[in-house]
Amino acid sequence: MNLLTEKFKGLKVILGSNSPRRKQLFSELGIDFEVIVKDVDENVSLAMRPEDLVMFLARKKGMAFKNETKEGSIVITADTIVALGDKVIGKPSSLEDAADMLNLLSGKKHQVITGVAIMSDKKAESFFVRTEVCFKPLRPEEIDYYIHQFKPLDKAGAYGIQEWIGMIGIEYIQGSYYNVMGLPVKELYEQLLKF
């Protein structure tokens, strides 16, 4: 028996994310849900640690659903960033920007941090998960091929770990693979069981 299926039977569960990867991963939990996307300004000029930033943005996205969090409903929102030292790397604005980001990450360790917010009409919880990722030194031809054959513009750090560049370029990860895809599924599962 799926513990979450039983726990959330009859509840309205909303995934507040436009990410096809989050939708795919969340669907694997076996809960009936619907995707509703709210337009939230993600530009933040506050000087925050990366962990605080993703939690702030996940909660901000969740607050946009205040009217939907009626009795018997739960909203789940998330935000993922890439951090290279103290430098936060978001989504690229162009293919040139994507190439610059991948060149920056090439041959280095970086962190992928996802903040998740879970909200109902009675309470709100949030948490973050951090994964360390190390790229091999990437050849210019590899970066060029990836940015032109795949869709780096909707991904933090300009890459998807599950795509070609992840397969040929990542030397190791330490932590949750699914977190790098955009949703730390195991940690979310445990949080939902307690929620």
- Give residue 62's pLDDT: 92
Handedness of CA 27, 31, 35, 36 (dihedral sign): negative
Distance separating alpha carbons of residues 17 and 28, to the nearest angstrom: 16
Query: Distance between CA 165 and CA 163 in Å, rounded?
Result: 6
Closest by CA position to 156, among listed 58, 41, 19: 19
Taking only the tens place, the pLDDT of each residue in 60-119 is 999 998 877 777 789 999 999 999 988 899 899 999 999 999 999 999 999 999 999 999
Catalytically active residues are 79
Q: CA 125, CA 43: separation in Å to the nearest integer?
A: 22
The neighbouring-strand residues paired with 106 are: none
φ/ψ (deg, to 5) at 164: -50, -45
7 band by pLDDT with thresholds 50, 70 and 90 = confident
The fold for domain 3-194 equals Maf protein (3.90.950)
> Which residues lie closer than 8 Å to 47 by C-beta, 6 or more apart?
none
pLDDT higher than 90, residue 55: yes
The pTM of the full predicted model, rounded to 2 decimals, is 0.91
Here the tokens at position 28 are 């694997």
Tally: H helices and E strands in the chain: 8, 7
Region of 182 please: left (phi>0), alpha (psi -120 to 50) or beta.
left
More confident residue, 122 or 47: 122
User: Does the pLDDT at position 43 exceed 80?
Assistant: no
Residue 53 token pair: 């930033």
- How high is the pLDDT of residue 44? 66
